Structure 1
Amino acid sequence: MSHPGSKSHTSREWVMVCGLGSLGSQCTRALKGYEILVSAVDLTAPATPNALNLDLLVCGDCRQVNVLSQARIKDCRAILLVSDNERVNVEAALAARRLNPEVRLVVRASQQNLSKLLGDYLGNFVAFEPSRLAAPAFALAALNADVLGYFELKSQRQAKDALSSTSKEERGQLLQVIQRTITADDSWLGQKLDQVNTGSYQVLQHLSPQAAKGPGALAQAQTAPPLFHLWQPEQRLQVGDRLVLLTSKNPTDQTHLRSLLQQDKQSPSIQTWPTFAAAYRQLQQGWSKLGRTSRVTLFALTFLLGLILTAIFVFPRNPQNPAWTETLFAALVMVIGGTYADLPPPFSSMALGLRLFSVLLTVTGTVLVGLLYAQLTNWLLTARLRLVRRPPLPRHGHIVLVGLGRLGRQIAALLVEQQQPLVGLEVKMPEDQLLPQLPVVYDSGTTAAGLQQVAIERAHSLLAATSDDLINLEISLLARSLNPGCRLVIRTSDARFSEDVAGLLPFARILCVPVLAAKAFAAASLGENVLALFQLEERTVLVTEYEVTVGDNLHDRLLAEVAYGYSVVPVLHQSPGGSATLCPRYDKGLRLQAGDRLVVLATSSSLQSIEQGTMLPRQWHLTLEQMRPNVDALDVVQVLTRHLDCNLNHAQALLTRLPRVLPQPLYALQAYRLHTALERCGVRTSIRDWKL
């Protein structure tokens, strides 16, 4: 039934949310930021419906046609099916498609193969799994490294289902978001930011006291200020400045990424004695890779070899003084359980000490033979039954992952792929074929003894990723008491609980899965294809793919206007039938046309601006002061057409009478780049309110 007080709207499109759990509630909040009408369906009314600011609430089963009709399915541009029951979500998607053949279906589902088949059959269908979306943010938060995010950009066909594909496809181009702090011996010290923003690196942010006084002041009045394009190109880097950079690396060579992830784990003492430390570290790593039985066997074998060598020198002191070959033969006979009757005559009258020594040889040999039989049996069973032998537990500088549920497995897979030292802690025994490279301890982790099994005192970080928020908090507090220097990352499922825990544990990273995933679901409901997400300055950045269509708010706009006006970072552009361009330049006069593929880094507020067509104000004015003699006017006209929204005739008219203020205001970085290009062509310019 309809909720009393529901508002009636007919002129604007609707988006429906089915399932008002943690994820559904966050989706409604994210959707309201786009200023669209939101209807919701749930079995029962939420305790505080006014907090969700819904335009229409219907209580009932979203699989029923009459319930969907009451929630205005025929007026909806998209429907988000985000209940905890995947079967309900799929059945509701089928019912919604019957009622509205054009509605976009955004479904919460973990069965990737089924999702792909439904997408091929139903069309305009996308499926997400919240844990798959949030896992990279958790993995990076546990590393305390300079890598803030990474994602792959593939071909147009591959990127369509980037978050749900199960096939082993060829990997695309790996892009990384990294941070770099300028030190006294840094090669970038003293360089201008615009010098850094070339070649392999693209500046996303420059964080320093001076940067806060730059052009970012124009956004101070906004609730959610822009995240990008607020740095000053002419500012020189100083000690302590922090840069956030976008860089691309070859995906087949993960060495650079792993080295960045592991930089903070290097020990100063190891750097002081590199040769000895490297040898010791290799020996220690080789020893740690052996199982317990293998280590005991190796120790017993080493001990036995020592006894045999001792026997070669001790037995000749017998009065009969046998040759060394005879003593070696005698030692081997004693090792395999022989008696004095099996020895040559000279050994029949040995002294008491030598007899005791021979008994030690026999006992040691018997123990070793038993160990060898056990080891051989283990190898045979493993090979015959294909049993999984997990690696030994790391003992220092590792990551402890508590909870190997759906999210925990996704996090573990990412960390294992990057060869990070990791140990899992799980109450239930996982399947043998589940991440065989991951060492696992079977314990709840809620006791000191359980955490001590995974060497929490020497761990680098702890990831509490169980499905119970209170257990995650309990484990984190206990780990903090055992290791005050341990980095904590805590999973939560409630936004309010996250805020409370963040106030209690300001040193920990609190990540709420519904909050992270909801932004991707909301963006997908509007037609965008969300490829990945990561955290930057406590805000979620979405790697979002657009296909430009006639009449949308990207069509026929300069790429520079899109980047600066919507505060997004274009990372890929591809024309229909053309090749993709990574990190396209903004000063080439590129104008977006129908069919173009554009991938950007954007916050949810930037996506809202694109949806609404609301661009940031242009507050910078450039004045053409004077052209130097013998300047080629055609070059100047080409520069103006590449940087401004004007044609050749308009650009030529701007040069007829100087000095002249350009009629259209510009964005800060847009004005600077035009100023630089014109000065290079021989035109003296000035920028109002821009300090060069």
Structure 2
Amino acid sequence: MIVCGDDGLARRLASELREVYKERVTLVAPAARDTQPSLGRVPRVSVRGLLGGPGLPGARNGDAGQAVRELRVLDAAELDEGVLASAGVAGAAALALVYEDDDTNIRAALVARRLNPRLRLVIRLYNRKLGQHLEELLDQAALVAEPGIDLRELDSSTTVLSDADTAAPALAASAVAGTSKVVQADGLLLRAVERTPPGRGQVADPGLCTLALLSATTSDPAGAEGAEGTGSGEDRGPRLLPDDRAVAAATGRGIVALETVVHTDPSRPRRRSGAGALPVASLFSQRLRWSLAGMVAAVAALAVASWATTGDHPLHAAYITLLDIFAINDPAVGDPAQRQVLQILAGFVGLLLLPVLVAAALEALGAFRTATVLRRPPRGMSGHVVLLGLGKIGARVLARLRELDIPVVCVESDPQARGLALARRLRVPVVMGDVTDEGVLEAASVGRAHSLLALTSSDTTNLEAALYARAVKPDLRAVLRLYEDGFATAVYRTLRAAHPAALTRSRSVTHLAAPAFAGAMMGRRILGAIPVERRVLVFAAVEVAGHPNLEGRTIAESFRPGAWRVIALDTAAPEDRRPDLASAPGYGPPPGLGLVWKLHPGYVLRPEDRVVVAATRRGLAELLGRPGVRTPRT
């Protein structure tokens, strides 16, 4: 794996590939920018030294030699064809180009595709439309260079990502579920949650499925001498992908269960975002609706009284009553007293009805205008997410939250922010103003909110908003976007110490985007990875055809404890499937989710099926028929 970049994302990505996936990594980065997350004890190699001979300086026995086999760092001020050749792009499996400059990434991608048509390319671009055209261009270039190549079979196509797009699911999950241990699959967010050990005679809720049994020492301080872990070290450590018998027997150990992240507020009915028709509640206020209902009841009462006193047909009596109300009937001179009294009452009702009709017209006009501009937060709103900032990151997170049907109130100070158009289209309430001004967060009902997402471009603004919101509601869940990892760690520890009962998360976009880039480098079949203590579970989408451990077997027969487990089935037709299940489906709800969970154990897997599996690294290598892949050190 080769990673090329000039900021913290490159170093974070290299660490992710080395530590999570145990891949051999070459990092190409300028030495002047080597101030980001540490990569451990590895020697730095200059491009001039590499060109002088095949060997690497420092490749000797000991720690340095082991580090070289896992990671080498190339100092390169500029990325050109010579640097890519020195990094070994001709024989690499994947290349990530994560420079902040789009032009540098595009030029390097074109050169790399020419040097190695089978190379898996992952490119960081901010322009999404340009990224789609670039993917098609580079894949077409690979087909022209090698006409017989099958990119889908080799899983070596081009993937264009944006750090904003990749960080959005984790930020949304942190605000809703309180964790960033999530995997995205076909528009769904899946999280791994730790469940405490059940009591005697009880069974822990497995969620969608049980991913792992935690170490005995995590719940029992006695650990090795106590409950479950009196045997070997493997028994005391975590057990990945256990079968039902092992889960039932391990009553003293917690479990890691897989769940979907959904909004479960029963007081708020689910509805699709951006519904076309305006509801009556948004056209007319509750007070006006009651006034109109009273007027209708008064008209009906007068019509019934006219029918009863005059003996006319009911429709004629109602018609005469309406004429009296609108003052277009002849005066009832010489008519019976009952008729004269009813006409006077009808005229009085008409006087009361006129201002009500004017108010209704003004409110309806205002409702239609705000439907095309911005909505204000409704009164009494609660259980929502307050989203601060509608820039590049905030717009992506807003779209993800609305896909999950989670109520959101946005706060933005810039009237030209790129996310305002999306909020207008999705009919999301927006408060215009600076979050540091008094009364702005109160207008967003932060005191009744479920969580706060501070995603502005200023660290101090995000911190100030979180502190003020905590003063209003001490137990509010707060997620802050902070640029510097050291500052984010200090803020997290301080807020946790000051508010131990509340959930606090300080997130760096670089930190959240790195796993998605790493998954793309591993191939489109990889959906993500979730750590379980010191081990890792990998989630992948696998075509059943050609895999003897899956094809023709039932769900129960295909399950190999400790290695892999089928957790979902893609029921979409092969021609309608998206090639990358981990990619976001776009704004709004996906057109139709094809994944089915809670599979019947007797279902027989067919060659045309596609399944989602949870596996260890060793198990996934065996399942995909790659026994030569290095096994991980746990």
Structure 1: which 5+ residue stretches go unaligned? 1-14, 154-162, 164-172, 248-256, 268-276, 279-286, 551-558, 591-595, 618-692
* Residue 245 (structure 1) aligned with residue 257 (structure 2): yes
* Residue 522 (structure 1) aligned with residue 518 (structure 2): yes
Residue 477 of structure 1 is matched in structure 2 by 467
Query: Could you tell me how far 1:19 is from its partner in structure 2?
Result: 2.1
Query: Could you tell me how far 1:105 is from its partner in structure 2?
Result: 1.6
Residue 668 of structure 1 is matched in structure 2 by none
Residue 201 of structure 2 is matched in structure 1 by 190
Query: 3-state DSSP class of the match of 1:142?
Result: helix
Distance 1:49 1:176 in 2: 26
Residues 467/97 of structure 1: CA separation in 2 closer, same or farther (3 Å cut): same
Query: Could you tell me how far 1:143 is from its partner in structure 2?
Result: 2.6
Query: Which TM-score applies when normalising by structure 1?
Result: 0.57
* Residues 381-439 of structure 1: per-residue CA shift (max 9 Å, x gap): 89xxx947869636112222222334333333333233323222233451168652433
Query: Which TM-score applies when normalising by structure 2?
Result: 0.62
Q: Give me the CA root mean square deviation.
A: 5.7
* Residue 209 (structure 1) aligned with residue 208 (structure 2): no
Residue 449 of structure 2 is matched in structure 1 by 459
Residue 105 of structure 1 is matched in structure 2 by 121
Distance 1:219 1:477 in 2: 45
Distance 2:336 2:568 in 1: 87
From 539, 543, 546, the equivalent of 1:543 is 539
Query: 3-state DSSP class of the match of 1:364?
Result: helix
| 1:465 counterpart letter in structure 2 | L
* Residues 203-231 of structure 1: per-residue CA shift (max 9 Å, x gap): 523586259544599779x9xx8673589
Distance 2:439 2:429 in 1: 18
Residue 630 of structure 2 is matched in structure 1 by 613
Distance 1:477 1:455 in 2: 15
* Residue 127 (structure 1) aligned with residue 160 (structure 2): yes
| 1:98 counterpart letter in structure 2 | R
Distance 1:527 1:58 in 2: 27
Query: 3-state DSSP class of the match of 2:462?
Result: helix
Distance 1:410 1:373 in 2: 37
Residues 295/29 of structure 1: CA separation in 2 closer, same or farther (3 Å cut): same
Query: Could you tell me how far 1:503 is from its partner in structure 2?
Result: 0.7
Distance 2:176 2:36 in 1: 38
Query: 3-state DSSP class of the match of 1:407?
Result: helix
Residue 356 of structure 2 is matched in structure 1 by 368
Residues 562/242 of structure 1: CA separation in 2 closer, same or farther (3 Å cut): closer
Distance 1:343 1:216 in 2: 101
* Residue 441 (structure 1) aligned with residue 431 (structure 2): yes
Query: Could you tell me how far 1:443 is from its partner in structure 2?
Result: 3.1
Distance 1:415 1:49 in 2: 30
Larger Rg: 1
Query: 3-state DSSP class of the match of 2:383?
Result: coil
* Residues 164-220 of structure 1: per-residue CA shift (max 9 Å, x gap): xxxxxxxxx997756666778xxxx61578xx88x9743523586259544599779
Distance 1:217 1:93 in 2: 53
Distance 2:78 2:487 in 1: 29
Residue 7 of structure 2 is matched in structure 1 by 21
| 1:40 counterpart letter in structure 2 | V
State the aligned residue count. 512
8 Å CA contact 2:390, 2:410 repeated in 1:
yes
| 2:437 counterpart letter in structure 1 | T
* Residues 560-598 of structure 1: per-residue CA shift (max 9 Å, x gap): 99964xx77664799xx9xx9999999xxx9xxxxx998
Query: 3-state DSSP class of the match of 1:290?
Result: helix
8 Å CA contact 1:119, 1:126 repeated in 2:
no
Q: Percent identity?
A: 24
Residue 281 of structure 2 is matched in structure 1 by 290
8 Å CA contact 2:621, 2:629 repeated in 1:
yes
8 Å CA contact 1:398, 1:459 repeated in 2:
yes
Residues 536/408 of structure 1: CA separation in 2 closer, same or farther (3 Å cut): farther
Distance 1:235 1:484 in 2: 41
Residues 146/79 of structure 1: CA separation in 2 closer, same or farther (3 Å cut): closer
Structure with more contact order per residue of length (Cα contacts < 8 Å, sep ≥ 6): 2
Query: Could you tell me how far 1:82 is from its partner in structure 2?
Result: 0.9
Query: Could you tell me how far 1:151 is from its partner in structure 2?
Result: 4.6
Residue 413 of structure 1 is matched in structure 2 by 399
Distance 1:356 1:457 in 2: 51
Residues 349/581 of structure 1: CA separation in 2 closer, same or farther (3 Å cut): closer
* Residues 141-180 of structure 1: per-residue CA shift (max 9 Å, x gap): 3234899756547xxxxxxxxx9xxxxxxxxx99775666
Residue 588 of structure 2 is matched in structure 1 by none
8 Å CA contact 1:18, 1:41 repeated in 2:
yes
Distance 1:144 1:570 in 2: 24
8 Å CA contact 2:182, 2:189 repeated in 1:
no
Distance 2:533 2:396 in 1: 23
